[in-house]
Structure 1
Amino acid sequence: MQTAQADGPLARAKREWPPALLAALTTAAVQTPFAAFYGLLAFAPLGPDLAHQALATALFGTAAAHLAASLAGSRNLILGPRPATTLLVAGLLSSLMLRPETQLPDGSGADVGLLLALTAIGVALTGLLQLLLAGLNLARLAQFLPHPVRAGFVNGVAVLLLVGSLPLLLGLPLSADGVLATLTKLPLLLRQTEAGALLVGLVALALGRWPLRWRGRLMPAGLSAMLGGIACHQLLSISDLLAPGPTLQVPARLPPPDGDLLLQGLRLAQEPALWPLLPHLLAFAAAACLLCTLDSLLVAGAMDGLRGRRHDGRRELLAQGVSNVAAALVGGQPSAPALGRSRLHFQAGGSRQFSVALYGLLILLCLWLAPTLLGQVPMSALGASLLLVGLQMFDDWSLRAPRRLWAGGLVPAQRRGLLLDYLLMALVALLVIWRGVALAVGVGVLLAMLLFVRGQARGLLRSSLRGDQRRSIKQRLPAAQALLQREGRRIAVLELEGPLFFGTAEPLIARLRELVDEVDYLVLGLHRIGAVDGTGARFLLEFAADCEARGKHLLLAEWGDASDPRLQALLAGDVHGQAGGLRLYADIDQALQWAEDDLLRRERFEAAPQPARLSLAQTQLGQGLDAEELDWLAGRMQGRQHAPGERIFAAGDAGDALYVSIEGEIAVLLPAAGGAARRLALLAPGVILGELALLSGEPRSTEARAETALWLMRLERAAFEALRHERPALADKLLRNMSLQLSARLAGVTRELAAALAR
């Protein structure tokens, strides 16, 4: 009874609410000034007159996003404007302001209300795209963006933050100038620097780099920098030694959000004159959706380690989409989780989902009850914090790669690959800096697609070997082995890897058309072909028909049975009946074995037909024996018949005899515990079986079964031992033949190992 009371609602509330409230307060103290500043930065192109509205909409949007995300099921992720999305909004506004469609009729400038409404539509479209990705369960597609492209985005945004933070750090007003303009004006900015503001910024920078301690624990870097900047600013204000510089200009009452922004944006649908703006909004929404989705999935994955449970990517993306639609309703920016603030919130005690909603409510309380508290934050401290964020954003791989290229030790292919990745990263970063994040996102995605197609087209051919380098497991008589060694280059064995689709099929078929001029048999190992689209199926079927017309043989291996979806996709593309002549095999070895058999038939058996049953002289055991020796040996061997599939001996049986097939093939199997036995070899007629166990006296290590109808000759141990005493010369010849077969088998194993290492 006492336990039940201890776990009741009241006790649970007393246990869970204090840490959740502390976590929300801590996160709000650190992040609210940043959210306000990101609002100023995003709407800076509209000028200082709208600074208060920009600040308010950023905070209202952040609060709305958290409340909506929490209700939609997001797990402990703290959202807000991100540097990249902030710059996206600024870039969108800068481009829309120059469009004739947004200008006022009196020619006095752009229609600010329309610009804000269009931005809200762009943010709403971002959320709707995220909801669409979540609904189609395509969230993980965003993670296929190559790392060099991601690194380019991150590094470009880091440079923009660093350069954008300089005027603030120097105590100067926020500027919407680009990187080049800011760097060009840097000497002028340095002459206009306010010494007190610079001192405040440097103190904040130092305390952000080396945070303060509270009760033996390091403060979060952002909170330490902010508190240090505020304290230094207050000391300078009291002492009158230096002018401490400006603070965030926040009125006593912030303007409420405009709830009619989206309704105003409906003018886009009602006025055809505004339709040319739609591509700008869609490009913005696509770029923002990609960046926000990447942040959501990466941060959620990183937080799994702290929370001790896996996240639901679809659920998180659904919540983020809802949060962005909610932010758009109050004119906010696109929001996405950040690892730093999410970790800060969790480590401060925010382990429950409702603590995220508490954080949003605290921001609303701050807006309504004490907005002037934000007015205590020095702009130079914000500039220092922004500079720290920029420094921490640089991708670690981008910083280490030049040293690795310079140090050497890479093979040429590795060096070329690393250099290509680095150049791609640099290109995307430059596009972010000089042309904006939206264009860089679009170009980066396009380049990622091109690199993917290029990499798949080049990597589809995993290995290529000829028949004299790779043999089937079928063991043959020396004459057949010699012929295959001599003519084996007429067989090509190719293992493919990757998706067979429109971007990879044509380069592959072009390579196969070159190869088929040199060979008669083409074996394709398709186990690693992950998917086949209509274009890939059509190219492969057309190539198969071309091979058949030229008298060549195309053998497709490792596509399982008729239920294999890749095979079904191939057959579905057979509109011209070209699949009728396809040769399909369960594995490469079976296909290679058929090619070898057919090559032997064409080269030898057609010219000199062989009898259905070999004589003892034609076997490996009888090589080099005269007629008298053959008769004597045959008289001491026993003949046996086996039906297909019948066991000859099992693993563990006594090694009391050797066998030679004079008709039919023998399968040598390796038993597997609890599963199907694996076929190790297939012995053609005339090949010796069981000689090692006969010589060593050890039990059988493998199993032998009749692959086809079989006629065996069996030499028992007792007969062999008698032969060694009665006919030592004959025994020496038999031992020599066994040794030749063992050496040929060892050479085959060595050849297979070399071929495997070359794949």
Structure 2
Amino acid sequence: MTDQVSSRQQVQNNLLNSISETLEPRTLFLSLLAGLITGIIGVIRAISYAALIFSGALNSELGVGVGLTIFSTGMVSFMAAIFSALPGMIATPLAAPTAITAILANEIVQDLKANFSLSDIVITVLAAIALSSLLTGLFLLTLGKTKLGSKIRFIPYQVVGGFMAGTGWLLVTGSIQITTDIAINFQNLDTFFQADPLIHWGAALFIALILLFVSERYRHFLVMPGTLIGLIAGFYGVLLVTRTSLSQARVQGWLLENFPSGGLWQPLAFSDFGSIHWSAIASHWGLIISLMLVSLLSLVLSNSGIELVVGKDISLDQELESIGLANIASGFGTGMVGNQALPSTLLVDKIGARSRLSGISSGIFCFFVLVLGPSFISLFPKPILGGLILYLGLSLLLQWVYRAWFSLRFSDYLIVIVTLVVINWVGFLEGIAVGFVMSVISFMFNYSQINVVKNMTSLASLRSNIHRSKLEQDYLKTRGEKVSVLELRGYIFFGTADYLLRRVRDRVDQMEENPLSYILIDFREVEGLDASGVLTFIKLLKIARKRNLTLVYTNLLPKLEQQLRKGGAIDATEEDEARCKILPDLDRGLEWCENQLLKDIFPQKEHKSLKEQLTNLFLTSEQAEEFIPYLKPKQVEAGEVIFEAGAKQQCLYFVESGQVSVLLELPNGQTKRLQTHSEGAILGEMRFYGKPPLSSLVSADSPSQLYQLDRATFETMKQESPHLAYALQEYIVRFLCDSLTRREEQVRIIA
């Protein structure tokens, strides 16, 4: 109920806005001009589309087809103008869906022509076209109502190119059939080089080349309609010069046949339903689905193109609803599928007629043409119709077969060509499906070429942010090769999983003399893994059992951990639970591995007094006794903040016992450990010289005994005991240089 109210309110608001916009004389004039120009273009294309659909055995019913396509153009344009999110949106039947509709009509004719009358065949074709419009409208409307527009924007560019190229070729062959009344196939190719067919499709080719030249050279919005009017005038000028009457031109195939008397628009009546052969329609459900998917694809593409030109976002969900309603209205009137008309909409934008009246007046013009009757339509030259269709087809082939060769990679270009061939040999749905499959295979192959192991090093060069003594650092540098560190990235699937396994096996086999003890794997940049990825980690677990290794996983997302546990790569047995260690981040993982290496060589440390620590750092024993009176003792509890982020505290802290960490505050409210210090370390050297780290804080991990040296006391020290101040400053410089060297080494390894 709420959706109905909102839709009704939207229509009312759109109409009110449209009325208010047209009150200005300039807007009214431009809107009517734009509506007239786009209406003329729409009618000309509608006639050409009718000639494409109602060709061959249906040629005698072309009048019905012209009425159908013109009605569809008017109705779709009128409805889209009201419901679209963009004032000035023009909608008409498009070339690609029309090509599929033509195939659908021809298939039904082939199925029924042997056993049923032409009247039954025409009624069945009209029913198929109307049903396609209704189903397409409901499909698009449902997608819009369920807000799925953002989910369907992502279509492989190569598939789009193949779809466009396939459409272009179908339009080329359709134009030849329009001008010669002969369906083209490999068996009758020589027929088209006989004199009469050759001169007819040759004239259409000449006109198409003129349209191509004009459209490529000139960009003014009046050039194309002006050229079409000029070509029509030129055609009748030739008839005048050669003294060819209209009846002679019609007999020679240069004009459309005279249409039967009566209205052009002949919608299905209830009495016609008994003549519809539903089984013939149902047997071509694949074409109807293709038409629905192609209409969706066309809408997504045209909407993106219009957004790019007009410079504003257009709600795809609202456009799905708008075009869906327009197609439903068209279907109820026995009309064909319509969609956003990119060229006409851009034409309206260039004219400056950004008003809903543009689309409304364009639709009204189409209805006006229907009222004029068949005598007006039958005067339209067939070479112009065929030339316009051929121009549209050649434009698409020029863009996606010739120019794409210079802009696409060979693999992408190959997908375009294969999709083109399959569309024309088998069908639209099959061609698009083949294009999608090839795009997926191409993506997987290219993605598998990316090294899933971003960085592979050891603990000898990449260490945690724990402050270690010089002796410990030297030992880790010597024995760090016993810990292999792998930083992974991307998606681990069957294309990349084997590479990861081979890298680990090679590393294990290379370390026979100094065997590995730990393999640390960081998942921070891993997006996911499939069953092959899980199998790889099961194999890693087997290697760990065989070689007595411990696997350490860091930054493992809960969903990935669940996959590994479910697949048996973690916690398969109690032994495996001890063999697989999971830690929150890479820094903690490195710390854990360091502690494992150090615990046998460096057992529990004996606590040293502050004097002993200062003596080990930078002072003599006598200097340490002289230095300590300048310090102020401070006891902190676990979790207590020592330095607030950005706080101006110009003081140093010497850690006698306990453990403290420097933390970086992240935008999401969490923290990242930058460094951890224990006894014998100093804190606050940057702040001490007036440069506080703006986003880092220091807090105690455990109860800690600190000694504070504030800036004022240091100034006193400089006056009273300058040798102590100099020794402290020299140590701080040395400490900062060591930190910078370590960071530089880490950056070099990661890069």
Quote the residue 1:717 is aligned against: 714
Alpha carbons of 1:618 and 1:476: their partners in 2 closer, same or farther (altered >3 Å)? farther
1:423 Cα deviation (Å)?
A: 1.8
| 2:414 partner letter | L
Q: Deviations over 1:237-277 (max 9, x none)?
A: 22226797712335254361224599469864xx6xx6xx7
Alpha carbons of 1:350 and 1:736: their partners in 2 closer, same or farther (altered >3 Å)? closer
Within the candidate set 96, 110, 124, 1:84 is matched to 96
| Runs of 5+ unmatched residues, structure 2 | 1-16, 509-515
CA contact 2:36–2:365 (8 Å) conserved in 1 = yes
Quote the residue 1:246 is aligned against: 254
SS at match of 1:492: strand
1:150 Cα deviation (Å)?
A: 0.8
CA contact 2:209–2:391 (8 Å) conserved in 1 = no
1:32 Cα deviation (Å)?
A: 0.5
User: Does residue 1:490 correspond to 2:490, yes or no?
Assistant: no
User: Does residue 1:420 correspond to 2:411, yes or no?
Assistant: yes
1:601 Cα deviation (Å)?
A: 2.4
Alpha carbons of 1:574 and 1:608: their partners in 2 closer, same or farther (altered >3 Å)? same
User: Does residue 1:235 correspond to 2:237, yes or no?
Assistant: yes
Quote the residue 2:4 is aligned against: none
Q: Deviations over 1:598-619 (max 9, x none)?
A: 2222222134312263556986
- The 1-side partners of 2:469 and 2:403 are apart by 58
Identity %: 19
- The 2-side partners of 1:578 and 1:255 are apart by 73
Within the candidate set 183, 186, 189, 1:176 is matched to 183
Within the candidate set 44, 54, 74, 1:33 is matched to 44
- The 2-side partners of 1:115 and 1:316 are apart by 28
User: Does residue 1:356 correspond to 2:350, yes or no?
Assistant: no
User: What are the equivalent positions in structure 2 for 1:316-331 lying under 5 Å apart?
Assistant: 316-331=319-334
User: What are the equivalent positions in structure 2 for 1:693-708 lying under 5 Å apart?
Assistant: 697-701=689-693, 703-708=697-702
User: Does residue 1:161 correspond to 2:171, yes or no?
Assistant: yes
CA contact 2:657–2:706 (8 Å) conserved in 1 = yes
- The 1-side partners of 2:289 and 2:599 are apart by 66
User: Does residue 1:188 correspond to 2:191, yes or no?
Assistant: no
SS at match of 2:676: strand
Q: Deviations over 1:369-403 (max 9, x none)?
A: 24333333322223333343234335758655644
Alpha carbons of 1:304 and 1:645: their partners in 2 closer, same or farther (altered >3 Å)? same
Alpha carbons of 1:643 and 1:491: their partners in 2 closer, same or farther (altered >3 Å)? farther
- The 2-side partners of 1:474 and 1:19 are apart by 73
- The 2-side partners of 1:200 and 1:143 are apart by 38
User: What are the equivalent positions in structure 2 for 1:2-401 lying under 5 Å apart?
Assistant: 15=25, 18-44=29-55, 46-70=57-81, 73=84, 75=86, 76-97=88-109, 102=112, 104-105=114-115, 111=121, 113-162=123-172, 164-165=174-175, 172-178=179-185, 187-188=193-194, 192-193=198-199, 197=203, 201=207, 205=211, 208-209=214-215, 218-240=220-242, 246-251=254-259, 253=262, 254=264, 256-259=266-269, 263=273, 268=278, 278=282, 280-281=284-285, 283-304=286-307, 310-348=313-351, 350-394=353-397, 399=402
| 2:599 partner letter | F
Quote the residue 1:466 is aligned against: 457
| 1:87 partner letter | A
| 1:466 partner letter | T
CA contact 1:79–1:338 (8 Å) conserved in 2 = yes
- The 2-side partners of 1:10 and 1:670 are apart by 56
Alpha carbons of 1:390 and 1:597: their partners in 2 closer, same or farther (altered >3 Å)? same
1:193 Cα deviation (Å)?
A: 1.2
| Runs of 5+ unmatched residues, structure 1 | 1-6, 406-417, 499-503
Q: Could you tell me the TM-score, scaled by structure 2's length?
A: 0.76
Aligned length: 700
Quote the residue 1:501 is aligned against: none
SS at match of 2:267: coil
- The 2-side partners of 1:524 and 1:724 are apart by 50
Alpha carbons of 1:635 and 1:666: their partners in 2 closer, same or farther (altered >3 Å)? same
Quote the residue 1:413 is aligned against: none
SS at match of 2:706: strand
- The 1-side partners of 2:209 and 2:400 are apart by 30
Of 672-681 and 460-469, deviating more is 672-681
CA contact 1:167–1:189 (8 Å) conserved in 2 = no
CA contact 2:77–2:91 (8 Å) conserved in 1 = yes
Aligned-CA RMSD value:
4.9
User: Does residue 1:525 correspond to 2:533, yes or no?
Assistant: no
SS at match of 1:705: strand
Q: Deviations over 1:168-226 (max 9, x none)?
A: 6xxx4244315x668665543688416995798379638844899xxxx9453431222
Alpha carbons of 1:34 and 1:400: their partners in 2 closer, same or farther (altered >3 Å)? closer
SS at match of 2:662: strand
Quote the residue 1:751 is aligned against: 745
SS at match of 1:686: coil
